[in-house]
Structure 1
Amino acid sequence: MVLEVKQVLRMKEGTDETSYGKTSYIQKQVLSLTKSIKEKAIMDFYCKEQPTTLCIADLGCSSAELNTLGVVSELIDATEKARRQLGNGHQEYQVYLNDLPWNDFNTIFRSLESFEDNLKKQMGNNFGHCFVNGVPGSFFGRLFPTKHLHFVHSSYSLMWLSQISKVELPKSLSSIMVVTIKNHRSRRVFPLKQFMQGFIEEAKLHTFNIPQYTPSAEEISFIMEKEGSFNLNQVHISEIGWEANEHYNNNNINDPSSSFDHYDFVKCMRSVAEPLLVSHFGETIIEELFKRYMEIVKVSMANEKNVFVNVTVSLTRKGCSI
């Protein structure tokens, strides 16, 4: 069962209008909200340690290149500001993009050339080198050498459970980590019985689960204290509405009757859940299933404010004080 989950636990691949890369606006809004936390953490580390090569890992990079490479770009930009303030010379960056082996890495890899070109344009002639690598594998196992990483970022990834095991990350990390996880107070997005009852055979319905663990801030603090490898520097609670924000929804902002928000949210959730649903129920039900889901989302968004509650924590490995 563990092997099966690893094979299907991925976002919808490709670059079409229903792919994760095109629809993950909620994840993008979460990344925007946590930008200042990530920037402060990496600048504090760099100013203290000033490593010759700064090693950064994004755990659960998925296939949305604008999200993943956007975070990397922001982290490098923050470090470059600190480097210039200190008067240091060229800085090297080693970036590791991690996800499970069945992730659509190719979508990200195809955009690396333009990403590197944009970095050089933004950072100027004094910019050093950025080396980007893909790291397929579960972060519930060992992925990196001991104390090799300086900064680890993960957003909406560590809550996905490909297996129950001890995370090996503390041995690999030499300093800082910033993690965002959906909180248990978030409204349940897939009320399966509500829109599958009478449509899916009962036996299959009862054996389907979304493999997520969404802890509270208190649970995270307790887990970190019990594990013992990290100091908890900051805990930040944020909320993200189901609706697309104005920047994402600019083509429909003047049309009050538009159902773009409903459709957009359903596409976003579909890009996350479809591989899991197809693996368990087959492809033939998918269109009808999400047609029914659309109706539920319309009613829900019309009658109440729906939000994802997020917990972002900034951690430092013990023994590395900043």
Structure 2
Amino acid sequence: MDLKQVIHMKGGDGEEGYANNSLLQRKVISLTKSLRDEAITNVYRNTKSESLGIADLGCSYGANTFLVIAEAIKAVEKFCQEQKQKSPEYKVYLNDLPGNDFNNVFRSFDAFKKDLISEVKNPMGPFYFFGAPGSFYDKLFPNKSLHFVHSSYSLQFLSKVPEGVDNNKGNIYLAKTSPPNVFKAYLEQYQSDFSFFLKCRSEELVEGGSLVVTLIGRIGEDPVYKDCCAVWETMAMGLNDMVKQGTIKEESVSSFNIPIYYPCQAEVKKEIDTQGSFDINYLETSEVNFSELDNWDGSDFTSKKPESLKDAEFNMENCFRAVAEPMLMGHFGESVTKEAFNRFLKNAADHMPKDKTKVTNITMSLTRKP
């Protein structure tokens, strides 16, 4: 399985695609708006750059893709208006793996540009947009070319499946029955990936540049904390039933492990301190209950509701499907994946009730050291 091709959100504008199932991600973006506004305003104030380099890593596609960029530009424009100074130009880079639906992103650009200009109202600096396909676990941009880097709900993905986890029998992620070596392998892969991610960003950011990241994590030190592992245990349950019925072979499930790690806050802080390129301005853990999203229309901090999310009720199963299906398709193929999700839907009602299920977020705001 080529992870660079299968780790992406489910493309298209259909009912099960990411564009119609990204309300949770939008909610999390809304919760971190003030932090991002403060970070990019401080960078602009301190660097006084005439040209701001901005990158969104793991941009995906759909209603949320341009949201962070629009809010960042508006924050700088507001500051410029208050200070009665000329706006900078903006060089914006949208990054994701090559399998991302970049066609959807590019088709949305003209509408985004029109909306942004109308919302800012006053004359603003020119802005240029670029697609940047590739893994953020590699260098993506020239040294000292960026001022502000953002990533939301992407950094929990690993660069690869940890090595030596083939004995994780009956599981597709960390579980109570996982052998000790599996826990060790996942932790070490996370440490290696996150440390290298920080190193790459420190080279690409100017001195004093800002990095704001939100990822899915866990509460406390227990790596099999129920809220981060329940969804994968529920999926594994259906796959194991298919093994018992002879639909798929046991080895097929044993050789499939999700390239994701949900760290706790202490693990995140340890890697930032160990890598050493950044000062921590903010590092906190928060939670969002899935049931909260049923009555939220996605418009907390924008005047315009996203068309794809306007009339949609939050569907927990479709939200998960939009993330997980490409990975399962890459390993099991279409027919097995379809049956696996049918079983997942039946099991989720019993094992993942919406009113008791939540997601843990770890949000950090970092500044590149001199």
| TM-score where L is the length of structure 1 | 0.90
Q: Give the drift of 1:230.
A: 0.3
Amino acid at match of 1:246: N
Is 1:228 the counterpart of 2:300? The answer is no
In the alignment, which of 242, 245, 269 is matched to residue 290 of structure 2? Answer: 242
- From 170, 173, 195, the equivalent of 2:202 is 170
Q: Which residue is equivalent to 1:253?
A: none
Do residues 217 (structure 1) and 265 (structure 2) align?
Answer: yes
CA distance in 1, matches of 2:331, 2:337: 11
Q: Does 1:53 align with 2:34?
A: no
Query: 1:265-290: CA deviations, max 9, x gaps?
Result: 11111111111101111101233222
Q: Secondary structure at the match of 2:342?
A: helix
Conservation of the 8 A alpha-carbon contact between 2:77 and 2:87 = no
Tell me the equivalent position of 1:278: 329
Say whether 1:180 aligns with 2:231: no
Q: Distance in 2 between matches of 1:212 and 1:195?
A: 20
Whether 1:19 aligns to 2:53 is no
Further displaced range: 274-283 or 177-186: 177-186
Query: Which residue is 2:368 aligned to?
Result: 317
Preserved contact between residue 217 and residue 228 of structure 2 (Cα < 8 Å): no
> Conserved in 1, the CA contact under 8 Å of 2:156 and 2:217?
no
Aligned mate of 1:108, from 105, 108, 124: 105
Q: 1:306 to 1:224 in 2, by over 3 A?
A: same
Give the corresponding residue for 2:150: 153
Task: Provide the C-alpha distance between the structure 1 equivalents of 2:357 and 2:104, rounded to a whole number of angstroms.
Answer: 31
Partner residue in 2 for 1:297 = 348
- Cα separation, partners in 2 of 1:142 and 1:127, compared to 1, 3 Å: same
Number of residue-to-residue matches in the alignment: 305
Letter in 2 for 1:111: S
Residue 301 of structure 1, CA deviation: 4.5
Structure 1 match to 2:232: 190
Runs of 4+ in 1 over 3 A off after TM superposition: 300-304
Asked if 1 retains the 8 angstrom alpha-carbon contact of 2:9 and 2:326, the reply is yes
Tell me how far apart the structure 2 counterparts of residues 302 and 101 of structure 1 sit (CA, whole Å).
Answer: 34
User: What is the aligned-residue RMSD (CA, Å)?
Assistant: 1.9
Name 1:257's counterpart in structure 2.
none
1:254 alignment counterpart: none
Question: Kindly, what percent of the aligned residue pairs are identical?
Answer: 39
Deviation per CA, 1:62-100, whole angstroms, max 9, x where unpaired?
122x21201111111111111111111132111100011
CA distance in 2: counterparts of 1:83 and 1:225, whole angstroms: 34
Shift of 1:304: 5.8
Deviation at 1:184, TM superposition (A): 2.8
Counterpart-to-counterpart distance in 2, 1:220 and 1:302: 29
Separation in 2 of the partners of 1:287 and 1:237?
Answer: 34
- Where does residue 123 of structure 2 map in the other structure? 126
Give the partner amino acid of 2:7: L
Aligned pair in 2 of structure 1 residues 78, 99: CA closer, same or farther (>3 Å)?
same
Q: Provide the C-alpha distance between the structure 1 equivalents of 2:152 and 2:355, rounded to a whole number of angstroms.
A: 26
| Correspondent of 1:288 among 314, 320, 339 | 339
Aligned residue among 3, 9, 32 for 2:30: 32
The code of the aligned residue for 1:56 comes to I
Question: Which amino acid letter does the alignment assign opposite residue 36 of structure 2?
Answer: K
| Distance apart, 1:146 and its partner CA | 0.5
For residue 111 of structure 1, give the secondary structure of its aligned residue in structure 2.
helix
Q: Gaps (5+ residues) in structure 2?
A: 161-188, 220-226, 243-247, 300-312
Residue identity matched to 1:245: D
Query: Unaligned 5+ residue runs, structure 1?
Result: 251-259
**Contact 2:92–2:130 (CA under 8 A) maintained in structure 1:** yes
- Secondary structure of 2:64's match? helix
